[in-house]
């Protein structure tokens, strides 16, 4: 009898546990929020449409999520798999043991900067080019709109071949009054595609589509085409950005000296048994 | 008897639910993300308002008066500012309660969950929002 009561109580408690977990998960908002807003995007919430989008104009400050939600990558080529095996991510091993380039505050590079640490972006339009800036590390990309072609043979052996760049070479054009399309080549192979350590090659070509749906909403699609690394092109993300009413945001940098102090005080001790 | 049975279950339930909601912080490989350690009467020795991680260094005394030194990491200043922190939130000498996810090697370091100030204010830490890449890890 005592066992029956015991089993009943445990069973009831287990059922309550499962249902309470289910309830807790069901209460989550579409924008995950663990304990409070962690970005201006979360804090702003639904800002409404703000009215119609102005034509051919992205100028201003926009808030996004810290990390974009990513689609699965297609199967990698043997070369891509080989690169991938060499990448030790912060999710798989302690930070101190990873070889993620950003561990030492190297640049995120493009397109990773459009997939991670996307809390804030800024556009400034000027004759012949669009400048896109990121809150994180305060970097910018120049996107030429003067009709020039993308450079060829980036990283090639010829004397006039341009060098690869952390943020590549970009050109852009308005597809219609509300969609700005950017094509980029020449991203440095030292950068990772994403936090999962997926690689890319110098053959990478990226197409970004910025669609201003209304005054306050900007949808961004990032498409990857890298035949040396992936067996087919794919859309890695479709992200949403929100107009920032105050047109300002926090400063966020990866500071090498402060990161080194972090690794010394926390990263190394957390990773190794006798580090302290 | 029921009380004895239900208390640990309630704790297990709390931790299970909580860990299910815990996002995969990109440095979480170092930490026991299903376990929260609560350290009371912790004395702040240093608060580092740094990028990309703020850090809290503090001391904890055991019953015999032995002092252990701890370090906890938080999110970036821009992330935890959204949760009410600023660079003056904690000062050396402040006595606080620290909740953290301990390192797997139990080296007195951890990922902060929250800090409760002497006046009762709770400063939650940022989860570092890597939700977008959970499925990749």
Tens digit of pLDDT for each residue in B84-131? 999 999 999 999 999 999 998 778 999 999 999 999 999 998 765 443
Q: Please, is A15 exposed, middle or buried when counting C-beta atoms within 10 Å of its C-beta (0-12, 13-18, 19+)?
A: exposed
- Which of A72, A252, A270 shows the shortest C-beta gap to B109? A270
* Contact status, residue A184 vs residue A226, Cβ threshold 8 Å: no
Q: What are the residue ranges spanned by the domains of chain B?
A: 25-129
- Which of B20, B51, B130 shows the shortest C-beta gap to A252? B51
Predicted-assembly ipTM surpassing the 0.95 threshold: no
- Which of A72, A105, A265 shows the shortest C-beta gap to B55? A265
**Minimum Cα–Cα distance from B19: chain A residue:** A21
- Tell me the residues of chain A between 109 and 128 that have a Cβ less than 8 Å away from chain B: 115-116, 119
Which residues does residue A212 pair with via DSSP β-bridges, in sequence order?
A: A218
Mutate to test the interface with A, among B3, B14, B23, B53 (most CBs of A within 10 A): B53
Could you state, in chain order, the average pLDDT of each consecutive group of 10 residues for chain A (276 residues)?
A: 48 41 31 54 91 98 93 98 96 90 95 95 98 96 98 95 98 98 98 96 98 98 98 98 94 93 92 66
What pLDDT shows up at residue A204? Answer: 98
What pLDDT shows up at residue A92? Answer: 87
Say whether B108 and A276 touch across the interface (CB within 8 A): yes
Lowest mean pLDDT among A23-27, B30-34, B45-49: A23-27
Say whether A36 and B27 touch across the interface (CB within 8 A): no
Helix (H) or strand (E) holding A53: none
Say whether B20 and A70 touch across the interface (CB within 8 A): no
Say whether A194 and B127 touch across the interface (CB within 8 A): no
B24 touches chain A (CB under 8 A): yes
What pLDDT shows up at residue A247? Answer: 97
Q: Which domains does chain A have, with CATH numbers?
A: 42-271 (2.40.128.20)
B137 vs A224, higher pLDDT: A224
Say whether B132 and A116 touch across the interface (CB within 8 A): yes
User: Which top CATH class is B25-129?
Assistant: mainly beta
* Contact status, residue A206 vs residue A183, Cβ threshold 8 Å: yes
What pLDDT shows up at residue A91? Answer: 84
The alpha carbon dihedral of B14, B19, B23, B28 has a sign of positive
Say whether A91 and B2 touch across the interface (CB within 8 A): no
What pLDDT shows up at residue B28? Answer: 66
What pLDDT shows up at residue A186? Answer: 98
- Cα–Cα distance, B2 to B131 (Å, whole number): 38
Give me the total of CB pairs closer than 8 Å, taking one residue from chain A and one from chain B: 202
């Amino acid at each position: 009898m005592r066992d029956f009561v015991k089993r009943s109580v445990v069973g009831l408690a287990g059922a309550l546990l499962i249902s309470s977990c289910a309830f807790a998960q069901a209460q989550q908002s579409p924008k995950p929020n663990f304990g409070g807003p962690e970005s201006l995007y979360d804090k702003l919430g639904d800002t409404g449409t703000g009215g119609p989008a102005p034509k051919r104009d992205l100028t201003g400050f926009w808030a996004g999520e810290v990390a974009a939600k990513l689609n699965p990558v297609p199967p990698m080529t043997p070369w891509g798999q080989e690169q991938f095996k060499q990448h030790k991510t912060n999710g798989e091993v302690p930070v101190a043991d990873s070889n993620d380039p950003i561990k030492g505050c190297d640049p995120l590079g493009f397109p990773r900067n459009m997939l991670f640490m996307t809390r804030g972006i800024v556009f400034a339009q000027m004759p012949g080019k669009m400048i896109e800036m990121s809150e994180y590390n305060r970097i910018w990309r120049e996107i030429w709109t003067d009709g020039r072609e993308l450079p060829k043979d980036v990283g090639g052996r010829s004397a006039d071949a341009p060098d690869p760049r952390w943020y590549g070479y970009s050109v852009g054009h308005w597809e219609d009054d509300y969609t700005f399309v950017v094509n980029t080549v020449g991203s440095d192979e030292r950068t990772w595609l994403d936090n999962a350590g997926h690689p890319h090659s110098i053959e990478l070509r990226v197409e970004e589509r910025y669609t201003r749906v209304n005054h306050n909403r900007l949808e961004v699609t990032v498409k990857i085409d890298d035949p040396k690394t992936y067996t087919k092109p794919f859309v890695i993300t479709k992200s949403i950005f929100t107009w920032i009413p105050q047109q300002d945001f926090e400063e966020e940098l990866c500071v090498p000296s402060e990161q080194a102090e972090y690794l010394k005080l926390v990263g190394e001790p957390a990773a190794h048994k006798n580090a302290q | 008897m029921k009380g004895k049975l239900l208390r640990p279950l309630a704790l297990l339930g709390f931790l299970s639910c909580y860990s299910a909601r815990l996002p995969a912080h990109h440095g979480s490989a170092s930490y026991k993300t299903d376990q929260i350690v609560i350290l009371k009467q912790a004395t702040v020795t240093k608060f580092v308002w740094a990028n990309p991680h703020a850090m809290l260094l503090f001391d904890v005394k055991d019953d015999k008066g032995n002092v252990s030194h701890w370090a906890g990491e938080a999110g970036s200043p821009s992330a935890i500012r959204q949760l009410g922190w600023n660079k003056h939130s904690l000062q050396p000498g402040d006595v606080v309660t620290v909740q953290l996810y301990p390192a797997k090697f139990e080296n007195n370091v951890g990922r902060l969950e929250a800090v409760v100030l002497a006046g009762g204010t709770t400063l939650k830490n940022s989860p570092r929002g890597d939700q977008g890449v959970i499925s990749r890890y």
